[in-house]
Amino acid sequence: MICAAALVVLPASAQDETASDSDVQDMSDPLAVYTQVGAGVTNKGINLKAGRSYDTGSPTTMAMNVLEAKGLLGEAVGWDSGSVRDNSADSLRLRNFKVDLTNGRGGQLDVSYNFDENYFAEESGTISYGVMQALPKFGSINIYPLVGLGLAFGNNVLEDDGSIDSGYSIPGTYALAGMYGKWAITDKVWMNYNPFFLATLSGSDIYKDNAYGAGNDNVLTHEIALSYQISPVFNVRYFANFTDEVDFADGDHRVEFNYQL
């Protein structure tokens, strides 16, 4: 599943402080900027995550890099019966976040690579850039719309004439639009709903027609998360990811623990 992400502006109280690695940030903010480590148990294996905030040289901006490895030990730990599981990583994802504290606008460069074969390549990846704007808070609800553009690349890509383009090539481009939503149930419990619509823009016919599964040139993805803040720097979260083509029960499910350093 292809999923987008971007930065969320910090609360006003945090904006008044000088950002540094030692600041304790609000971990209920969907994608707040802080140094972190995390691990999750999923139906397809183990996910590992590490994020590092860094100095941008400006007191009004914050940034971080986040690296994730997904699907490790899938054969030993995972329980998904609808996919072929092995003990090696299914995919890698690297994100670079930046946020401007003066206007609530954030941006993200998102690079992902999938080691499993799909409908148009032996292995494939995406590179995208998304921009989002924090909207005024409505009661206990925060909404952060996002739009972005991306391109797909692959190893041994299948061409329209049935031949294989040996090595790496770019079969097409796509657009994405969606939002991050947060509902603060209590000070320690919150829920996120993050829907995104992705659609192909250009490229080979086989890519445009099958980028999101056989016969699918677009997809509506859903992510639901329920979280509990154990301490200011430690939380546990349950995630469910599914689409308009994959039912909730058949989607990706994980329990994830995150620690802010």
Q: Is the pLDDT of residue 32 over 50?
A: yes
Comparing 105 with 21, the larger pLDDT belongs to: 105
**In whole angstroms, what is the distance from residue 50 CA to residue 38 CA?**
6
Residue 140 pLDDT grade (very low, low, confident, very high; cuts 50, 70, 90): very high
Two tokens, residue 79: 């329980």
Residue 78 pLDDT grade (very low, low, confident, very high; cuts 50, 70, 90): confident
Q: What burial class does residue 76 get, using C-beta atoms within 10 Å of its C-beta: 0-12 exposed, 13-18 middle, 19+ buried?
A: exposed
For residues 212-230, give the mean pLDDT. Answer: 96
CATH T-level topology, domain 12-260: Porin (2.40.160)
**In whole angstroms, what is the distance from residue 93 CA to residue 67 CA?**
6
For residues 196-223, give the mean pLDDT. Answer: 96
Residue 31 pLDDT grade (very low, low, confident, very high; cuts 50, 70, 90): low
Q: Across 1-88, where does the E strand assignment appear?
A: 36-42, 45-54, 61-72
For the chain, give the mean pLDDT.
90
User: At a CB cut-off of 8 Å and minimum separation 6, what does 197 contact?
Assistant: 176, 177, 178, 218, 219, 220, 221
Q: Please state the pTM of the whole predicted model.
A: 0.88
Which amino acid is present at 121? A
**In whole angstroms, what is the distance from residue 252 CA to residue 179 CA?**
19
Q: Is the pLDDT of residue 198 over 90?
A: yes
**In whole angstroms, what is the distance from residue 178 CA to residue 74 CA?**
30
Which amino acid is present at 216? N
Give me the percent of the chain exceeding a pLDDT of 90.
81
